[in-house]
Structure 1
Amino acid sequence: MHWSSLASLALATPTAALLRFGCAQLVVERLDPLVNPGVNPSPHLHQIIGGNAFRVSMDPKIDIGETATCTTCQFSEDFSNYWTAVMFFKAKNGTVHRVPQIPNVGFEGTNAGMTVYYMQDGLANYQQTSKVTAFKPGFRMLIGEASYRTKNEAARFRQITYTCLQTPGTRFPETMNFPTKPCPAGIMANVRFPTCWDGQNLDSPDHMSHMSYPESGTFESGGPCPASHPVRVPQLMYETIWNTSAWNNKEDWPETGQPFVWSMNDTTGFGSHGDYVFGWKGDALQRAMDSPCYVNCPTLKTQSISTMNQCSVPVTVDETTDGWLPDIPGMPSGQ
């Protein structure tokens, strides 16, 4: 959807909710309580947003919506945690520099972070008419596979894409691999999660099997959920804008081609992934999903960007992640 169409959603009066909100940075470090609980440091670097209950281990029996005391997200009742890998620029001499994140249009002043969506229907349906069941305390999921390096592998996750931003409002086209030419306004990494739940398991060993894509069609086309996963849940979507403008001169790029690399040493882009741990307070998310919301929501409490920016957690992994580095943290040369 083009930005003009997306922006027009704010002027429409939906019969149900489309939540779109900004979240500031909580912390950047090598922790992953979903895939590598208790491991400090985890194998690769992540950028995390959301509530300050984020830890190296997060017991699913503990309701983080009740234990967190602040959140980097616009809606102050959302103590969920959302995270992705981190993007680096790799220079000709092999050194790397973390690519900074910038906020989306409309969320200027936010400290890095991401834009988060919860949707009943695809963005083309302005009215958002479908009814969905909100996630439950203890729910968590993962989409994407950090080890994937080919398009055939990544095709399993058909809604993890990139947009080469010509302007801050660019939204198309989307590609499955890293852009191969300079992007004037940065690279947007898009992560969309499956929308059908088995209705029983809050998690699964691979953090994916309790979720499914529609049986036919897509979420955007209103495809039905399969019998094995009959419960329709909101589509969770992340937009992360990586400010690559400092490296738009192709003369600075390595001879091997495009210079951007994920923190698990993925130069293809096919290893992109997103993690989610639910942490909305009480029934706040279900109330929002049942209400006419867009950006501002009458059923939710909203906090200022300055308050969002103040929430953080201490860094527990003692390593440098900023400036020019000889290697990506956790990824020695040659890996």
Structure 2
Amino acid sequence: MRSLPRSGMIVLVSVAVFGAAACRSAGVETSPGAPAASSPGRPAMGSQSAPGAGPSTASSLAPASGQVRPTRTFGGPPPHAQYQEVAANCTVTHRLNDDPIVFPGLAGASHNHTFVGNPSTSAGSTNASLLGGRSSCQDPKDASGYWFPTLLQHGVPVETGMVTVYYKADVKDYRTVLPFPAGFRLLAGDMRTPDAAAFRGTWSCGGDLANDIAASCPDGSSLIVRYQAPSCWNGADLDPPDHRSHMVYPVQGVCPAGHPVPLPMLELKVPYKLPGGKTDGLAYSSGPSYSFHFDFMNGWDPERQRRVIEHCVNGGRQCNGVGVDKHKP
């Protein structure tokens, strides 16, 4: 299990400051070569500060990466913002029977996965090996690996369209969302989901949302599955043995006490091209439609991710995959 030593889990600081200086002052060792980051008050992406910026109090969580993660509180509710998100388009890079989170180092040990993001992702990948790599997503600084089971039709892989990876706020106060810490990993969903009624994702193909694949789709439409990951972190574990228990869903827009740190809510939108709209013979490499799940291994450049989250999510914007909202610069 990759986690923070309990002796250094929570550190109280008088001022919420990012970077190596804050780590040293709090008695936390910084990662070698970690870039110094600015204070939360610094305007992100060369624009205005996030609405309502200026937290009244702050406590810090120091994950295993050595980065200080302030939990910010504000004196009032956040300004209204219809969107608080980044939507990044990512092309499929490869398919492998690998899963570097569930079966690390064991090539060919898993069911078949479809990969987007870092094209080097394989059974031997680690967060460190992904950093600085290439990406099939729009932001070249996002070298993360994202993968999900391969959809088959009569045993043949179905063509996957452009995958959209969303980074959103799933808590009421979007200003409090923090970037994913270095070394973070996540498995969202469960291939052992018992039936469609228990599936937390949605399916659509030109009509209403449903929890299972429709009997048929309109000719020319795409079959789309969406799945949202939990976004409240326990502040300690980067990748627990079950790859899930460090994260839970918010309760009425607030992170619960045992998982108090709001991180971006990852949502995957995966479209499939079905000739003639025929849905017969569809199944995932992991099982039925409701066995869909996805994995995330953080390979972001830390400073770049911080700026994108501050500007787009904390700033109440609807950003594209390179962190730009043309209607709210």
Q: Do both share a fold (TM > 0.5)?
A: yes
- Length, aligned pairs only: 240
CA offsets per residue over residues 196-254 of structure 1, 9 Å max, x none? 0001111111110000011x33xxxxx1111000000111111110111x1535xxx7x
1:201 aligns with 2:237: yes
Aligned residue number for residue 326 of structure 1: none
TM-score normalised over the length of structure 1: 0.65
Q: Distance in 1 between matches of 2:303 and 2:82?
A: 19
Aligned residue number for residue 118 of structure 1: 167
Q: 1:270 aligns with which of 290, 294, 302?
A: 290
Aligned residue number for residue 133 of structure 1: 178
1:48 aligns with 2:143: no
Q: Distance in 2 between matches of 1:299 and 1:284?
A: 13
Q: Distance in 2 between matches of 1:48 and 1:199?
A: 28
Aligned residue number for residue 106 of structure 1: none
CA offsets per residue over residues 259-304 of structure 1, 9 Å max, x none? 211112x23x11110100011112211211111451165689xxxx
Cα pair 1:17 1:291 within 8 Å, conserved: no
Q: Distance in 1 between matches of 2:270 and 2:202?
A: 11
Q: Sort the Cα spacing of 1:40 and 1:198 in 2 relative to 1 into closer, same or farther, 3 A.
A: same
Structure whose alpha-carbon radius of gyration is higher? 2
SS at match of 2:256: coil
Aligned residue number for residue 86 of structure 1: 150
SS at match of 1:237: strand
SS at match of 2:152: strand
Q: Distance in 1 between matches of 2:323 and 2:226?
A: 27
> Which runs of 5 or more structure 1 residues have no equivalent in the other structure?
1-12, 91-95, 104-113, 167-172, 218-222, 301-335
Aligned residue number for residue 240 of structure 1: 270
Q: Distance in 1 between matches of 2:115 and 2:300?
A: 16
Considering fraction of residues, name the structure with more strand: 2
CA offsets per residue over residues 161-212 of structure 1, 9 Å max, x none? 211235xxxxxx3222222223431210112110100011111111100000
Runs (4+) of structure 1 moved beyond 3 Å? Answer: 13-17, 296-300
SS at match of 2:311: coil
Aligned residue number for residue 282 of structure 2: 260
> Which runs of 5 or more structure 2 residues have no equivalent in the other structure?
1-79
Q: 1:64 aligns with which of 110, 122, 130?
A: 130
Cα pair 2:89 2:321 within 8 Å, conserved: no
Q: Sort the Cα spacing of 1:133 and 1:298 in 2 relative to 1 into closer, same or farther, 3 A.
A: closer
TM-score normalised over the length of structure 2: 0.66
CA offsets per residue over residues 88-116 of structure 1, 9 Å max, x none? 112xxxxx32210123xxxxxxxxxx111
